[in-house]
Structure 1
Amino acid sequence: MPEQVYRGAVLAGDDFEPVRAAVIVEDGVITAIEEDSSAPDLWICPAFFNAHTHLGDTVAMDFATCGDLEALVTPPHGLKHRILGSTPRPRLIEGMRASIRGMQATGTAGFADFREGGADGVTALREAVQGEPILPLIFGREGGETIADGIGISSARDIPDTEEQVRRARAAGRLVAFHAGEKDLDDIDAALCYDPDLLVHCTHATRGQLRAIADAGVPVAVCIRSNWTLGVTCDAGRPPVREMAACGCTWYIGTDNVMFVQPDMLREMSFCETVTRMPPEEILRAAVGGAALAGRSFPIKKGNRANFIIIDPDRAGLGFSPDPIASMVKRVGERSILQTVIN
């Protein structure tokens, strides 16, 4: 493949330092970032990694916009599970593929999905993603974990044989992820006992629990729009993102159930900033950093694979912004994206 050159204001490195530069890419790998004062007024930002999705829920989109957590999403009899169980496989695949393409259109280059439906559910997602330039990390359930990248457990209190399931996953060299602390704090300590690779939500985690999570080095995927939509919080301090950062936790951003929330990381970042008032660079880092779950690195730096989006700020009147990072987090929408580069 010939050398490719992308020019603009590059949010470069782990700190997203804006620099007018040319990004040189060969065979999908960034080989150089060269300062270029004549680069056009475009923004080049790392692509996003959606750290928690349920893409199968696309077929249940907006079936319900209110109701308690148990009635809507708790296995095995929640509304979404009944819809998934009655949906023909071709339609399920079609729905997941539509959401995958929607994610790409809004700058996402990878995602971590909790996939219901056992082994057939995992193979359906693999079929949906086939041929699409996006990196999937799949956490299976109900036997699907045996052919997935890991096991995704709804809650330590929901599964009677959690210990055996985790033991088998570890023996096979697979990842272990838990929903924890979504509706209350009671299942967080139990999840931590299994030394997971990822916790999802921790909406109601205490400071002591956050310190334990940080000490264990377990990252947390927060899903703020989903938490608000499902009514498990109406508090700017829940999920406790600021406390997570203060305690030294690694936190990532996910969008959770497509049943309620579009898997659009641009919207998720904007809502996160509005609710938490976290510094924009920290929110952008959380939207990019989840790639580490899949053993990848998305920041724009020499030696990394080229995964970034090119923004035309003038398409949405953002050319007046002196702070591309803040405007990326708070204002950029799909209309402003000229190109998504995924390798």
Structure 2
Amino acid sequence: MQTAAHYVVTGRALLGEDLREEDVTITVSEGIISSIEPSSRPAERWIVPAFFNAHTHLGDTVAMDLPARGSLADLVKPPNGLKHRILAATPRTELVRGMRASIIAMLATGTTGFADFREGGADGVAALREAAAGLDCRPIILGREGGEEVSDGAGISSVHDVANAEETVTNARAAGKLVAFHAGEKNPDDVDDALAFEPDLLVHCTHATDAQLRRIVDMDIPIAVCPRSNWLLGVTASAAHPPIARILELGGRFYFGTDNVMFVQPDLPREMAFSATIFRAPPEEILRAAISGARMAGRSGYLEVGQKAHFLVINPAKSNLSFSKDIRSTIVKRLDSSSICQTVLTMQ
């Protein structure tokens, strides 16, 4: 991990939001990309934007792969779903240790930022901040049950699961904070009610109708899709859900999230590879979805002059990646931690 004060690296980079391939030298000064200059040197490294995980529940780490059966509501619906009972019974020290371990796992696979729906009120928010302390990663924390007041915003379950959604949103807006809703995970019934609050982010929209998707796109609301979680939890078995292809057809925006660590490892390279196989979206769209969630943290996420440095340096010679004929496709389908030789990021 390289915290960016001054740093210079040469290689084949994926530049800008169009992720165009160019051989360049990138200079970082005081944590900001100060120049990107053409290079004639042979490119021995790849330089790519770091990833941003747009939806996690890291507290669930303490219930990882617990043998459990039941409906989605039985497992994760607040306030009495299985995960909530486990969280309530877990000592704080163990909860913090689990979340910290998952943050370290994300950093190892190229994720330098994430947005977490944090259970447990203000104490839950404080526990996640403690878990992230000293690590090269600042979480966007979307609190619940009073945690909204001391975090970056409100991470609301389905609008049908909470009694005070209007008050929660009003307070968050008054404080200039983010508002995010789960919606459309198992059916479309809660999507319209969530849209009535004009959220900054919708999570899942697995079964949003075409009319709802059009509204979402018209309102320019990004969707954090969680394909592996949706498939594992049985809310989809189709390449049409989540509707990645339709979102792209309509000109909408989607980010990738990995959802509950209880069920799915918070590993965006795995999320990209799975999605490339099932949904067959163009590699550049899949890669953008793993990067663009950085907008939630107030940055573009891309390699551009003037942007904060958040990028990966990859050594393709450490594996068979050096035979790649399309870097974007190879990163989406084949990248793992073994090929990442440096993570460069700005922490301020």
Structures share fold, TM-score greater than 0.5: yes
Matched, 1:303 2:306: yes
Question: Aligned residues, how many?
Answer: 343
Matched, 1:86 2:89: yes
Tell me the alpha carbon deviations over residues 16-74 of structure 1, each in whole angstroms, 9 at most, x when there is no partner. Answer: 11111111111111111111121432111100010000011111110136532111111
Matched, 1:10 2:13: yes
What residue is the counterpart of 1:175 in the other structure?
178
Q: Between 89-98 and 64-73, report the one with greater CA deviation.
A: 64-73
Q: Between 162-171 and 318-327, report the one with greater CA deviation.
A: 162-171
Question: Letter of the aligned partner of 2:198 in structure 1?
Answer: D
Q: Give the Cα–Cα distance (whole angstroms) in 2 for the partners of residues 139 and 183 of structure 1.
A: 22
Q: Give the Cα–Cα distance (whole angstroms) in 1 for the partners of residues 150 and 278 of structure 2.
A: 38
What residue is the counterpart of 2:141 in the other structure?
138
Question: Letter of the aligned partner of 2:319 in structure 1?
Answer: A
For normalisation by structure 1, the TM-score amounts to: 0.98
Matched, 1:166 2:194: no
Runs of 4+ in 1 over 2 A off after TM superposition: 64-67
Share of identical aligned residues, percent? 57
What residue is the counterpart of 2:332 in the other structure?
329
Matched, 1:99 2:102: yes
Say if 1:58 and 1:99, in contact at 8 Å, map to a contact too.
yes
Secondary structure of 1:318's aligned partner: helix
Say if 2:201 and 2:222, in contact at 8 Å, map to a contact too.
yes
Q: Give the Cα–Cα distance (whole angstroms) in 2 for the partners of residues 27 and 136 of structure 1.
A: 21
Matched, 1:188 2:191: yes
What residue is the counterpart of 1:113 in the other structure?
116
**Unaligned stretches of 5+ residues in structure 2:** none
**Unaligned stretches of 5+ residues in structure 1:** none
Say if 1:182 and 1:203, in contact at 8 Å, map to a contact too.
yes
Say if 2:300 and 2:307, in contact at 8 Å, map to a contact too.
yes
Q: Cα–Cα, structure 1 residues 205 and 2, in superposed 2: closer, same or farther, change >3 Å?
A: closer
Q: Cα–Cα, structure 1 residues 231 and 301, in superposed 2: closer, same or farther, change >3 Å?
A: same
What residue is the counterpart of 1:274 in the other structure?
277
Equivalent of 1:208 in 203, 206, 211: 211
Q: Give the Cα–Cα distance (whole angstroms) in 1 for the partners of residues 252 and 117 of structure 2.
A: 22
What residue is the counterpart of 1:289 in the other structure?
292
Q: Give the Cα–Cα distance (whole angstroms) in 2 for the partners of residues 67 and 132 of structure 1.
A: 36
Matched, 1:246 2:249: yes
Say if 2:6 and 2:31, in contact at 8 Å, map to a contact too.
no
Say if 1:7 and 1:39, in contact at 8 Å, map to a contact too.
no
Tell me the alpha carbon deviations over residues 263-313 of structure 1, each in whole angstroms, 9 at most, x when there is no partner. Answer: 111101111111110000001111100011121121011111111011111
Question: Letter of the aligned partner of 1:230 in structure 2?
Answer: L
Q: Cα–Cα, structure 1 residues 20 and 99, in superposed 2: closer, same or farther, change >3 Å?
A: same
Question: Letter of the aligned partner of 1:297 in structure 2?
Answer: S
Root mean square deviation of aligned Cα: 1.1
Equivalent of 1:219 in 218, 222, 231: 222
Say if 1:175 and 1:197, in contact at 8 Å, map to a contact too.
yes
Question: Letter of the aligned partner of 1:269 in structure 2?
Answer: M
Say if 2:5 and 2:31, in contact at 8 Å, map to a contact too.
no
Secondary structure of 1:185's aligned partner: coil
Aligned-pair CA distance for 1:225: 0.4
Q: Give the Cα–Cα distance (whole angstroms) in 2 for the partners of residues 3 and 75 of structure 1.
A: 46
Question: Letter of the aligned partner of 2:158 in structure 1?
Answer: S
Q: Give the Cα–Cα distance (whole angstroms) in 2 for the partners of residues 325 and 188 of structure 1.
A: 33
What residue is the counterpart of 1:230 in the other structure?
233
Secondary structure of 1:213's aligned partner: helix
What residue is the counterpart of 2:258 in the other structure?
255
